[in-house]
Structure formats: C-alpha cells, structure tokens
C-alpha cells in the first residue's frame, strides 16, 4: 500500500495527552480534524476508560484510554497536505472507530502547584530544641490535660519520624492542643515537627503529615498569617506533583477532584451515634469529619463546597467537639 504524503507528518502519542488544538488523524486514516475539547470518561469501577475528543465543526471521537493515536505535527506541510474534516456530526461516531473513541471535554487541569521556595519554607520556624523537648514543653504548659499527658508520655521515649505510629501521635497531639485546649501556638509547635517532613511515598505515614499540614494551614489563616498558610498548603500538595507522565497526572487530577467534590463527612456514623445517645462515639466521628473539612479548606474548597460554607462547617464542628 502506498504511503500518502500526509502520513509522513503525523506522530503517535497516547490518547490521554490529547489537548485542544491538536489535529487528530481520524479513524479513516485520510482526514484530520482539530480537537475543540477533551474529556475523560471512567468505567463503572472508576478507572479511566475513554478519552472523548469533541471536534471543531462538530462530532466526537471516542478513544480507549490506553490507546495511541496519530496527531499531525504542527508544520504548514502537515496541515495543508491532509484534508481537514468538517461537519462531522455523527460521521465520526458512525465510522468504525478502531481504538478511537470521542470524549467530551475534560475539565481544564491546572498545572500542578510547585513546592515552596527556600524563602517561603523559611516562614516555618525551626523547633525550639529537640522534638522531645518541644513535646515536653507543651505538656508542661497543660499539666491537667490528660489527653496531652498520655500522648506526651508515649513520645517522651523518643520521636522517630520513620515510625507511622509516632507520626500519628504527634498529629493527634497537635489536634488535641488546638481543638480541646484552644492552644494554637502549642499546636503549631508540635505540628511543625511533622510539617517539614518530605513525602516519602508511604500513604500511611503521609496521612499524619497531611492532617498536620491541614490543621496548620487553618490555624495560620485564622490568625491572619496567610503567607505561612500558603506554604503549608503547597507542602500538602506535594504528592500531587510527583507524577511526571501527563496522562497519569491528568487521571490522578480527575480522581483527586472527585474525592474533593464527594468527601466522606461521616454523616451516617454521626447520626447513628446521636440516635444511640453515644456521645463519645459521636465526638470521635465529628473529629474525623473536622479533619476532612480542614483538608478541603487547605485545598481551597471544592466544586461542591465553597470556602464560605467550609468555614461555617468547620466552626460548627469545632463548637460541637469542644462542648
């Protein structure tokens, strides 16, 4: 079969990396059409399944998420040698779409936030002494707080940042200081022992750091320390910046946005505890809800819960768990 001149001017790329403006070679292999927008469609299990490209001039092309497609190189020759498809409504879908599948536009994915600069990182003060001495100081400041003393006794044996349980104790101590004892400075002093730790790829350990960063961001925003709060928020997004593959990064962003839009706020568990008059269980579930709300606040809210509503809900939960 003779190769057409246009065939020399397109390159193969992964369907997930398609973007607005790309000239996509259609399934018939003879024409190209400009992509107006791209969306990702998941299967019933939540895994990315289809890339749907809406074409300028009408029509859509559906492409299996893991497939490769041909896109014209951005050169004058490539554009002029291949006829551009127009008025394709229904035509692209009617054609035998090998692995090609048209997907509706993907919500624009903002570039991943970069980590804080050295100057920004310097806004987090260095600890006053060793981690053990920081813990000892907050315990001495609250000699009658049983929750603080119990956690401090465990941490007095030594703070091991490689230990997930140790990180959890530090995070719990910071939350206890802020929530139960209304001691934001003590909470920040303890939280900053966690906040400066790098993401090591371990979700279990990172969960404690994440909770600490979200709490610290909220405390600083309440006190008017906006720049320092932004540093914590940038650090919180560290795992989001790790993926270098554009397709995977895009899929991760979609999954992440869905989790922000549909957070677990433990409504059923809280109502069940209220119905059973189990106040202790209700408080524990509300603490988990508060943690989820603080995480959302550190992300600037979501498409379903705005900042104003988040502030209101956080205030309500704080009042409830402090009662």
Q: Which domains does the chain have, with CATH numbers?
A: 5-94 (2.30.30.30), 118-241 (no CATH), 246-322 (no CATH)
Across the chain, mean pLDDT equals 82
Q: How large is the C-alpha radius of gyration of the chain?
A: 26
The pLDDT of 76-90, averaged and rounded, is: 43
Helix/strand/coil for 317: helix
Percentage above 70 pLDDT, the chain? 81
Tell me which of 15 and 276 has the higher pLDDT.
Answer: 276
Residue 2 has pLDDT above 60, yes or no: no
Quick check: 262 and 254 in contact, CB under 8 A? no
The pLDDT of 180-192, averaged and rounded, is: 97
Q: Alpha helix (H) ranges present in 156-245?
A: 164-175, 184-195, 203-222, 226-236
At 88 the pLDDT is 42
At 75 the pLDDT is 53
Residue 117 has pLDDT above 70, yes or no: yes
Residue 264 contacts by C-beta under 8 Å, 6 or more apart in sequence?
292
> Cα(130)–Cα(174) distance, rounded to whole angstroms?
16
Q: How confident is the model at residue 43 (pLDDT cuts 50, 70, 90)?
A: low
Specify the DSSP element, H or E, that contains 271. Answer: helix 267-275
Render pLDDT for 154-179 as a digit per residue (tens, 0 to 9).
998 899 989 999 999 999 999 999 99
Tell me which of 36 and 47 has the higher pLDDT.
Answer: 36
Render pLDDT for 258-272 as a digit per residue (tens, 0 to 9).
989 999 999 999 999
At 319 the pLDDT is 95
Tell me which of 80 and 186 has the higher pLDDT.
Answer: 186
| 319: its two tokens | 């009042």
> Cα(75)–Cα(72) distance, rounded to whole angstroms?
8
Identify the CA nearest to 297 among candidates 283, 322, 319, 317: 317
Q: DSSP per residue over 272-315, as a string?
A: HHHHTT-HHHHHHHHHHHHHHHHHHHHTT--SSS-HHHHHHHHH
Percentage above 90 pLDDT, the chain? 53
pTM of the model: 0.67
């Amino acid at each position: 079969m003779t190769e057409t001149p246009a065939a020399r001017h397109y390159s193969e790329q992964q369907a997930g990396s398609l973007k607005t403006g790309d000239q996509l070679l259609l399934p018939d292999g003879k024409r190209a059409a400009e992509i107006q927008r791209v969306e990702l469609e998941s299967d019933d299990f939540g895994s990315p399944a289809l890339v749907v490209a809406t074409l300028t001039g009408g029509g859509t092309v559906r492409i299996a998420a893991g497939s490769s497609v041909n896109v014209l190189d951005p050169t004058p020759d490539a554009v002029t040698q291949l006829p551009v498809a127009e008025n394709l409504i229904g035509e692209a879908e009617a054609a035998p779409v090998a692995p090609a599948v048209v997907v509706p536009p993907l919500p624009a994915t903002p570039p991943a936030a970069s980590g804080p600069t050295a100057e920004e990182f310097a806004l987090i003060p260095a600890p006053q002494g060793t981690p053990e001495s920081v813990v000892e100081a907050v315990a001495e400041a609250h000699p009658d707080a049983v929750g603080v003393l119990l956690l401090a006794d465990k941490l007095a044996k030594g703070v091991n940042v490689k230990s997930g349980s140790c990180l959890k104790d530090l995070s719990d101590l910071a939350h206890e200081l802020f929530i139960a004892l209304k001691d934001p400075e003590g909470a920040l002093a303890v939280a900053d022992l966690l906040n400066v730790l790098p993401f090591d790829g371990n979700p279990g350990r990172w969960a404690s750091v994440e909770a600490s960063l979200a709490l610290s961001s909220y405390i600083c925003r309440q006190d008017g320390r906006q720049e320092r709060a932004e540093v914590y928020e940038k650090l919180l997004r560290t795992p989001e910046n790790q993926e270098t593959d554009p397709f995977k990064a895009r899929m991760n962003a979609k999954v992440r946005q869905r989790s922000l839009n549909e957070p677990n706020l433990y409504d059923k568990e809280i109502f069940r505890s209220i119905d059973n008059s189990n106040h202790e269980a209700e408080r524990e579930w509300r603490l988990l809800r508060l943690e989820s709300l603080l995480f959302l606040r550190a992300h600037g809210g979501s498409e379903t819960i705005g900042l104003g509503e988040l502030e209101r809900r956080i205030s309500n939960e704080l009042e409830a768990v402090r009662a």
